[in-house]
Structure formats: structure tokens, C-alpha cells
Amino acid sequence: MDALAQRLTRWVADSDVQAHDKALRRVRSGVPPAALAAFLAAARAHPDARYTPVLLDATRYRKVSVRGQALAALACMGPAHAERAIALAAGDHDFTIRRLAWALERLHPSPTSHEVIAALLERDTELAEALATAYGPVTQTEATDADLDAEIVIFDADDDDDDDAERP
């Protein structure tokens, strides 16, 4: 992990408001993808509602891995944020992000999110079939925490296949 990624991780993990503000200012000014990934992982581990605008920006990033990390972090910010993350993920053009919507709904269930996922699986038969193959009938699925972590962990590795632009 490079020095900037380490600083961002440390600032987010710090309980000091000024450290959080430093992290936000630095990310808003633009950071390389690896540093952004470190920030997103730290924000997921240490949720703070002040990160919401940056997380929402990152949900529109070109790189699938960054969008996935941003959505997973956003979902950790509380029930309303989880519903928003699930809805955003369900509407994403990428299959793996839509699959993430299902995992996030299992981790952060709500009647609203359940409806979003039901509609997603109705219109996205490829996703419904993939989930049924992996976990059994998705309407009856009781996925384990390990299963759900496996769905989310795919976004924790840096994928160099995408454009490495500095800003979302």
C-alpha cells in the first residue's frame, strides 16, 4: 500500500473529526485508484455519514471495482443509505454490481430493498439463474455471511483492466 493510501486509511480510522476532514479533502481533490480503493475500504470499516457525498460520487466511477467498493461502503452507513446503495447497484449496467445488490440486500434487509431485488431478479434472468446455481432458489436463499462476503470481496482487489483515471 502506498503512502497516500496508508494516510487515507489512518485518517478514516482515526476518531478525530479533523482527520476525517483531511481524508475527505484529499479524496475530493483527486487521488489515484489505489488510494481511492483504500479510502473506500476504510470507509466501509469505519462508517461516517460525512463520507456519503464522496461515496455517491464513487458509485459512478468507471472502474467496476471502485463502484462496488463505494456501494458496499455506502450500505454500511445505515438503513436509508443501504437502501440507496442497493437501488443504485440494482440499476447498474454491470452484472457483478447487480449481483452485489443481492448480497447487500441480504446483509441490510428491508421491505423496500426486498422489493428492489425482487424486481431486479424478475427482469434480470441471467442474474437470477446465476444466483440459483450458486445458492439455490433465490426466493428461499439463506446465504451465510461467508457467501455474502465472497460476493463483496471481489471488489476488494484492484483490477487493472479498467481505465485508471484519477477522478470519479
pLDDT mean over 113-140: 87
Q: Which amino acid is at 69?
A: Q
Residue 149 has pLDDT above 80, yes or no: no
pLDDT mean over 114-132: 94
Q: Name the residue ranges covered by the structural domains of the chain.
A: 3-153
Q: Dig out the grid coordinates for 75 from the structure.
A: 450500505
pLDDT in tens, 34-52: 999 999 999 999 999 999 9
The per-residue pLDDT for 139 is 54
The per-residue pLDDT for 82 is 97
pLDDT mean over 148-157: 58
Which is nearest to 119 in space by CA: 144, 146, 152, 90? 90
pTM of this prediction? Answer: 0.84
142 burial (CB, 10 Å; 0-12 / 13-18 / 19+) is: exposed
